[in-house]
Amino acid sequence: MLDANAGHYQDDDELVPAAEPHAAHAPSDAAVETQADLSAEIKAIGEAYARALKDGGAPETQPRLDFAPYRSSILRHPTKSLHHADPETIELYSPAFGHQDVHALESDLTIQHNGEPQGERIIVQGKVLDGDGRPVAGQLVEIWQANAAGRYIHKRDQHPAPLDPNFTGVGRCITGPDGSYRFTTIKPGAYPWKNHLNAWRPAHIHFSMFGTDFTQRIVTQMYFPGDQLFPLDPIYQSIVDQDARDRLVAKYDHELTSPEWALGYNWDIVLSGSKRTWTENEAFGDAGDEE
């Protein structure tokens, strides 16, 4: 049923209306599907998952690739099962990054322009660990996000909310020896998108990470605790398991909060397990050295 209609969704379905300061903020090509329609679809999938769990099914720890409430996924999810493969040589390593690639100041998103960005200053800190709980050191972490008003500096984002001349929303860092990362930034705002009528994304920061193996590569989104938009968002809800969803929500950390400066959030990221043994790892030599 959905496939027959799929073409309907393929064009520009995440664009918001062009900015028209004096126009009523209703999309001119108003999607006929409402949040209530989408929420009903999400609820049905959630109930089917709950039944499967009750019948002894395994918890799903990753998002569903086939999750029709996120309309853009309909033509973009593989229909065949992923093919199991044993990682081979190149896949057992990942690219090396170092301070040559990333400047230390890139982890502070509030100092990239001449003035102070608007919004609520925050510190986001955590550790990158592998599936065995080992810190993933010396690895690239990239983040990007909307500004405090929910606007991205992207030509396709025409949400009629102000751009902030003092905020780009891009940061990078290299993890420390204990796998730690730390960013200073601005809390992003929620923003509308055109998946359906009155669709709003919960505030989030996009994270991109490698690991010691290319098979550990991950791009994900960090959310903020207590967001009222969680039950309504098809992207967050594409993870059908509540425990798994909770892994994407940062914790407010008053110890990390900096007095008279910034609120602190803590979020650890767990990559999949490394397929390499320590001996192979050590025999390879230090990153950056010619073999």
Q: How far is the CB of 210 from other proteins (least distance, A)?
A: 9
Q: Where are the beta strands (DSSP E) in 194-277?
A: 199-201, 204-209, 218-223, 251-252, 263-266, 269-270
Q: How far is the CB of 141 from other proteins (least distance, A)?
A: 12
**Active-site annotation holder among 191, 223, 236, 265:** 191
CA–CA distance, 36 with 148 (Å, rounded to integer): 27
**Active-site annotation holder among 206, 217, 247, 276:** 206
CA–CA distance, 157 with 126 (Å, rounded to integer): 29
Q: Does residue 206 carry a catalytic annotation?
A: yes
**Nearer to other proteins among residue 172 and residue 196 (C-beta):** 172
CA dihedral 163, 168, 169, 173 (to 10 degrees): -170
Q: Does residue 25 carry a catalytic annotation?
A: no
94 C-beta neighbours (distance < 10 Å), count = 21
Q: Does residue 204 carry a catalytic annotation?
A: yes
Q: Does residue 252 carry a catalytic annotation?
A: no
For the chain, the first-to-last Cα distance in angstroms comes to 56
Q: Does residue 223 carry a catalytic annotation?
A: no
**Cβ contacts of residue 70 below 8 Å, gap of 6+?**
195, 234, 235, 238
| SS3 state of residue 248 | coil
**Nearer to other proteins among residue 100 and residue 228 (C-beta):** 100
Q: How far is the CB of 159 from other proteins (least distance, A)?
A: 11
267 C-beta neighbours (distance < 10 Å), count = 20
**Nearer to other proteins among residue 134 and residue 257 (C-beta):** 134
Beta partners for residue 270, in sequence order: 129
Q: How far is the CB of 238 from other proteins (least distance, A)?
A: 5
**Active-site annotation holder among 152, 181, 236, 265:** 152
**Active-site annotation holder among 71, 159, 196, 204:** 204
**Nearer to other proteins among residue 87 and residue 160 (C-beta):** 87
Q: Which residues are catalytic?
A: 152, 191, 201, 204, 206
